[in-house]
Amino acid sequence: MPTVIAKELKKEVVSVLKRQGYLVKPDGLFYLPHNNQEERREEQRKVHELSKAERVTQQEDFILKNIELVKTHLIDGKDLDIDKIDPVLIEVESGSKEEILFRWWNVIWWSLLYGRAYGRQMRFVVWDRYHNAPIGLIGLQSPILNWGPRDKYLGITPKKGTIG
């Protein structure tokens, strides 16, 4: 039987999902309404707007503190010469300029929250040598091996993620 804390957590999760645009079927299954692939992508973007806005707000001090470094590597689209792009992969090392840029651009570019994970992890900045600017971020990490304890605590059944 779920505890009071589990019930409150479930209620909060349901509330957040509904604010993000999810609907709930009578059997408890959450889904995003869409009629075609383009609508599906747009709905998924909308879902992440709330968490992205929260993430930017939480990271405001970091963003402002490092904006001058970032500005030195911005390129105006009118100055971009796509024929001269010269990409190189730079592994992000702890304490490096690339770590700051990776974190900064991760907050601004990515719609999905990227967080430091447990286990093996590698981060890379795809850098354009010609324009001296980042053109991509790559984050690789090992998968979570066992969701069982979380699912049991939240009362999630194996039936496609329904919350019981």
Percentages (nearest 5) of helix, strand, coil residues in the chain: 45, 15, 35
Q: Within a 10 A sphere around the Cβ of 6, how many other Cβ atoms?
A: 14
- Domain locations in the chain as residue ranges: 4-154
> What share of the chain has pLDDT > 90, as a percent?
33
What does the mean pLDDT of the chain come to? 82
Task: Over range 63-92, report the average pLDDT.
Answer: 94
User: What integer pLDDT is reported at residue 152 of this predicted model?
Assistant: 78
Query: In angstroms, how far is CA 67 from the centroid of its own chain?
Result: 20
- Report which of 118, 122, 59, 119 is spatially closest to residue 90, judged by C-alpha positions: 122
87 or 139, greater pLDDT: 87
Residue 43 CB burial class (10 angstroms; 0-12, 13-18, ≥19): middle
For residue 161, pLDDT beyond 50: no
For residue 155, pLDDT beyond 50: yes
User: What integer pLDDT is reported at residue 120 of this predicted model?
Assistant: 74
